[in-house]
Structure 1
């Protein structure tokens, strides 16, 4: 299945990297680019607010279910063929999304997008690891990380511009030229290998894991809307997710080599620790990005375009850190870089804990840049050390699980912080109202208890203050979580390349 590359046909690493990064950027952009266009889609497709949310959830659920299949599909078809199929399918599905005339059509097209796009991120990571010698892998992971982490951050800004300048359909049509260039590069520059051996798919393992992931994603996406476990639907989804995962775990432990999940991955200490870290990074990064826009727009009256401009610089910090880390990781101790990155991210969250209703644009921009820099500093050495001790034949499965844990972490993080903001706003509002009485002389100097309009203004002010406190509490939670994972660095082991060890061969198909 692996094809060592012949010196007579040197790899064009630059074009391969550009091609697969275009595919990665296309997929990661689509995870957030449609968010700002939802109100426009809702009117065009005659959908309710609840119904239009399935444009987002259908994509997430389909991608989550299909991601674990990446390892099996790679072994069955080979990386080159699978990547070409994934890019083609994702591009066609994007065109179908843009041409949709009803809610059913666009939800179906988004399901296809998720199914085809699920393999793009793990395959791109696996290819970059394969085509680069060990000493170049950190730089390769830096380039890969730019597409993975910056795409979701820039998505809302680009989506808002396309929607305002043209219409919501261009949020999807933008993928067509990107997909065409990526497909051309893959078919032209990636080496073609011999036919792979047929292997058997563990359908029971895949089915139980898919049910668990799908039910969990549905629970997380609809929990806040349906009041969590006060809803029968949420209780059923939680039961299905729990029971399915238990069956999957038991099956994996007893099926041996026939299991869908490669249990050998759990024997690699670096890989297990790395997936724990990426879970937390996904939760903290995406949760912060999910909190800031509604906070700025609802509490401070920021226009959508301005919100995009003040949150986008965090992506600049991430890119700078990744490019810098790609050069430093070969010279510095990996655990020291990880520690520095987590502490820098914690500093940014600590600054956000001091937010009030009176903020300048620089108060938003600089903590975002600092947090982006810290996360970028973590991502490159983390990606390198997670796979440093993993055998090449496990990389496709490993990168799929790595991406899956990042996605699940982001979903859980977003759902938890949004639920906490909603709940804490109500709790703090009730606590503040207890002090807003006619006996409060200081309050009566500014508000007339006998005036309905004055009391309405007071209630709006209390709601704003309660919401701001709730947002600060959410930032505090992420600050604590970031610090709590730092001790895990003690179990990470670095692997230095012995003198005279040859760089790994290229393994495509």
Structure 2
């Protein structure tokens, strides 16, 4: 029973924090109108949170040692809750962005801390079950975010997307105080502050997150702003790696964990998995709304069954990963994820409702069978006293993977749609017989209904077709990237668990 309360205590604030990474997306237009902000300005509401969140996540293990894990967890939930209230009462765009930065700082430690606590309270032979619980939170929260945010913004006020965090935060603080205890190896330590590491980490991760979030809008390396931030990020991260490995007395980021083969390949697969997940869940709603004319409600219904499937599949994948070699369900999950985006690459503009639901459902099944065994394999050989250093690294790689996936697909769709538009328009000439026939037929149809000239209708359809081809190419690239990860399954070491008699036994 105590384990149940610990799981509930750590997953409740984590779920709300991850929900906040996507809940703002659909409420931006409401915020723009309320605070008199432009489109470009309002996107900083999202970027500011992602940047501060990404900077704090890798520091979570070090901060836990400095302040004590329980103290740091209570501080993180408190700051997240207070800043949520401040976001709700924001009086200008600048104030909202500032409070979102504070919210990101508060929320940054919640993901890695919850994962490390779960791995601590469950024995190694139950890591599959532990990571199934964690996976349900980190996968379902970003899916539900736009749905919840859109419903609140449409029916109440955009301010309530922040206010709903307050009661959850208060309950979480009380539960953390009563339920969570620090093990002996995680008591407060007097450590010398790694100031160079903190500065380099903030510059490297912060600039990288801005580049990924703003790159497509700024036309990538055609922009001096993006070029400058990219250089700062690469140099800072390079210096951070050198400093933490060679000079830092108490490193703020423990890069030596990547010497563990499972940890290295586990995070590599996790990166590509979140590229695939975020890339597809960004594109699919846009496809059905912009190209197929679906309402926001119908687009939500396309995504809806996936949540139900994951709710069922995660516990099953956890049980399977506990009983057999986790490499087997991992391989199955990778194949399912790649297959799902391959199906999406076959979309056409005559597709029906269920043609969109089925690939998304397959992706949901695949994600459940990737996240659970992968998380268990990744930390299989990490000692529990090092877990608070390992989980922040995994969390930041996971988040960057999601940002990279979003950046890749939006860039592909934008650029390839223009390319295909130019290629398709080559056939729209007065000397093309099919074009002449189409113009004549449209003239007969449109003239009696006082619509636009037929050329306009044909051009709109051309743009729609060009965008559809670009979407298909983006889905295909996601599929290829995901299936390439199947080879990494062979590099994982088999987890070694203790038998009841005390002997060591590898899972076969």
TM-score (norm 2): 0.94
Give 1:64's match in structure 2, choosing from 29, 54, 73. Answer: 54
Aligned partners of 1:157 and 1:312 also within 8 Å: no
Residue 473 of structure 2 aligns with which residue?
473
Where 2:61 maps in the other structure, the secondary structure is helix
444-453 or 368-377: which moved more? 444-453
Please list, as runs of the form range in 1=range in 2, the aligned pairs for 1:366-385 lying within 5 A after superposition: 366-385=358-377
Aligned partners of 1:438 and 1:449 also within 8 Å: no
Aligned partners of 1:278 and 1:406 also within 8 Å: yes
Encode CA deviations 1:193-225: one digit per residue, 9 max, x unaligned: 675221122211221122111111111111111
Give 1:89's match in structure 2, choosing from 65, 76, 79. Answer: 79
Give 2:15's match in structure 1, choosing from 13, 25, 33. Answer: 25
Corresponding position: 1:289 with 2:281? yes
Where 1:100 maps in the other structure, the secondary structure is coil
* 2-structure distance, mates of 1:133, 1:193: 15
* 1-structure distance, mates of 2:388, 2:346: 43
Q: 1:384 offset after TM fit, Å?
A: 0.7
Q: 1:501 offset after TM fit, Å?
A: 7.0
Q: Rate the CA distance shift 1:328–1:450 in 2: closer, same or farther, 3 A.
A: closer
Q: 1:256 offset after TM fit, Å?
A: 5.8
Q: Rate the CA distance shift 1:450–1:319 in 2: closer, same or farther, 3 A.
A: closer
Residue 171 of structure 2 aligns with which residue?
181
Corresponding position: 1:365 with 2:341? no
Corresponding position: 1:79 with 2:73? no
Give 2:260's match in structure 1, choosing from 249, 255, 268. Answer: 268
Aligned partners of 1:145 and 1:379 also within 8 Å: yes
Q: Rate the CA distance shift 1:502–1:397 in 2: closer, same or farther, 3 A.
A: farther
Aligned partners of 1:318 and 1:377 also within 8 Å: no
Aligned partners of 1:72 and 1:201 also within 8 Å: no
* 2-structure distance, mates of 1:281, 1:288: 11
Residue 251 of structure 1 aligns with which residue?
243
Q: 1:71 offset after TM fit, Å?
A: 0.9
Please list, as runs of the form range in 1=range in 2, the aligned pairs for 1:125-140 lying within 5 A after superposition: 125-140=115-130
Residue 315 of structure 2 aligns with which residue?
323
Aligned partners of 2:194 and 2:248 also within 8 Å: no
Corresponding position: 1:98 with 2:102? no
Q: 1:454 offset after TM fit, Å?
A: 1.4
* 1-structure distance, mates of 2:244, 2:476: 38
Encode CA deviations 1:451-493: one digit per residue, 9 max, x unaligned: 8821111111100000000000000000100111110111101
4+ runs deviating over 4 angstroms:
192-195, 448-452, 500-503
Aligned partners of 1:205 and 1:252 also within 8 Å: yes
Encode CA deviations 1:110-166: one digit per residue, 9 max, x unaligned: 101100100001000000111112222211111111111110011111111111111
Give 2:216's match in structure 1, choosing from 220, 224, 228. Answer: 224
Aligned partners of 1:425 and 1:467 also within 8 Å: yes
104-113 or 358-367: which moved more? 358-367
Corresponding position: 1:118 with 2:108? yes
* 1-structure distance, mates of 2:323, 2:183: 35
Aligned partners of 2:83 and 2:102 also within 8 Å: yes
* 2-structure distance, mates of 1:501, 1:419: 56
Give 1:141's match in structure 2, choosing from 131, 138, 161. Answer: 131
Aligned partners of 2:64 and 2:188 also within 8 Å: no
* 2-structure distance, mates of 1:259, 1:157: 40
Q: Rate the CA distance shift 1:147–1:447 in 2: closer, same or farther, 3 A.
A: same
Aligned partners of 2:191 and 2:250 also within 8 Å: no
292-301 or 394-403: which moved more? 292-301
Q: Rate the CA distance shift 1:306–1:199 in 2: closer, same or farther, 3 A.
A: same
Residue 403 of structure 1 aligns with which residue?
395
Where 2:348 maps in the other structure, the secondary structure is coil
374-383 or 251-260: which moved more? 251-260
Give 1:414's match in structure 2, choosing from 406, 420, 423. Answer: 406
Q: 1:91 offset after TM fit, Å?
A: 0.9
Q: Using CA pairs below 8 Å that are at least 6 residues apart, which structure has the higher relative contact order?
A: 1
Aligned partners of 1:215 and 1:237 also within 8 Å: yes
Aligned partners of 1:449 and 1:455 also within 8 Å: no
Residue 431 of structure 1 aligns with which residue?
423
* 1-structure distance, mates of 2:13, 2:343: 35
Q: Rate the CA distance shift 1:447–1:135 in 2: closer, same or farther, 3 A.
A: same
Aligned partners of 2:18 and 2:141 also within 8 Å: yes
Residue 447 of structure 2 aligns with which residue?
none
Structure 2 alignment gaps of length 5 or more:
444-451, 504-508
* 2-structure distance, mates of 1:425, 1:442: 23
Structure 1 alignment gaps of length 5 or more:
1-10, 504-509
TM-score (norm 1): 0.94
Corresponding position: 1:456 with 2:448? no
* 2-structure distance, mates of 1:257, 1:494: 33
**TM-align CA RMSD:** 1.8
Q: 1:502 offset after TM fit, Å?
A: 6.6
Aligned partners of 1:65 and 1:214 also within 8 Å: yes
Residue 197 of structure 1 aligns with which residue?
189
* 1-structure distance, mates of 2:193, 2:495: 33
- Count of aligned pairs: 493
Aligned partners of 2:112 and 2:392 also within 8 Å: yes
Q: 1:179 offset after TM fit, Å?
A: 1.3
Aligned partners of 1:321 and 1:374 also within 8 Å: no
